[in-house]
Amino acid sequence: MPIDIAHVELFVLVFIRVASALAVLPVFSHGAVTPMVKAALSAAIALLLVPTLTSGLPATSGTLPDFFLLAIRETLCGILLGFAGQFLFYAIDIGGQLIGFQAGFSIVASIDPNTETQSTVLTQVYNLTAILVFLAIDGHHTMLRAVADSFHSIPIGGLAVGSSLSEWTLNAAKTALADGIRLAAPIMVTLLLTDVGLGILVRVAPQMNIFVVGFPLKIGITLIMIGTTLGSVIAIFTAQYAEFGRQIPGFLRLLTTP
């Protein structure tokens, strides 16, 4: 049975978009997911999607340079899809970093296996909590469905990035920052009042070692407040996820609007 080169090229381009998206999407981009698993999952998804695509390859994909240009476009399209999904976790990162800094956990920062950057222990705890909630509400299914739907909204080679995408990114960043501050605000205010109380205590009893008393006290208060506000953190993340699900069709349209 002869092999149709056009079908092979189509499979490769679909694989490139899916693999690029999985390399950036939350959970799938986690350091615990090995490159071999990502490649195998991308190939399996591509095999399932290729028979459903009716648009096929663009008419200008007959030469090798044109194919490379299409591959670059599909890589960029996948990265943009994954980048949009990452905004779900930015508020958690911002809130965890703010709380960790205020509570004094920044002095024991370590490498986060998810982002492969230095972050506080509290940020990693919040990230793991968000990942568990994300999996519990089938967020990974929504992400994979968005990648699959992108081939119907954005045909192969149909990516067009315009100023509307920049506006969407700015609005998403603004929302993530506001949600991160809202997430951290109760604990930060409590720790600020604790600092004020410790300052008054030092003035009253100057012989007291504020560092010996202050650090354990702030850590204990932080842990108590985390347990108290964890429900609201999950509620904020779930609301973000619901809003993201509503924005997926609009975001896909942005990637076809020059």
For 23-41, what is each residue's pLDDT tens digit? 998 888 887 888 899 999 9
In the chain, the number of structural domains is 1
Q: Which of 40-44, 62-66, 150-154, 164-168 has the lowest mean pLDDT?
A: 62-66
- Structural element, H or E, at residue 172: helix 163-204
- How far apart (Å, rounded) are the C-alpha atoms in residues 128 and 113? 11
Range of the domain at 188: 5-254
pTM for this structure? 0.83
Q: Is 45:106 a contact under the CB 8 Å cutoff?
A: no
In this model, does residue 2 exceed pLDDT 60?
no
- How far apart (Å, rounded) are the C-alpha atoms in residues 180 and 96? 8
Phi, psi (degrees; rounded to nearest 5) at 109: -70, 150
Percentage of the chain modeled with pLDDT above 70: 90
Q: What is the mean pLDDT of residues 53-71?
A: 73
- How far apart (Å, rounded) are the C-alpha atoms in residues 209 and 135? 45
Residue 82: C-alpha distances to residues 26, 35, 78, 115 (Å): 7, 16, 6, 14
Nearest to 141 by CA among 56, 25, 48: 25
- Structural element, H or E, at residue 119: strand 118-119
Q: Which of 88-92, 101-105, 240-244 has the lowest mean pLDDT?
A: 101-105
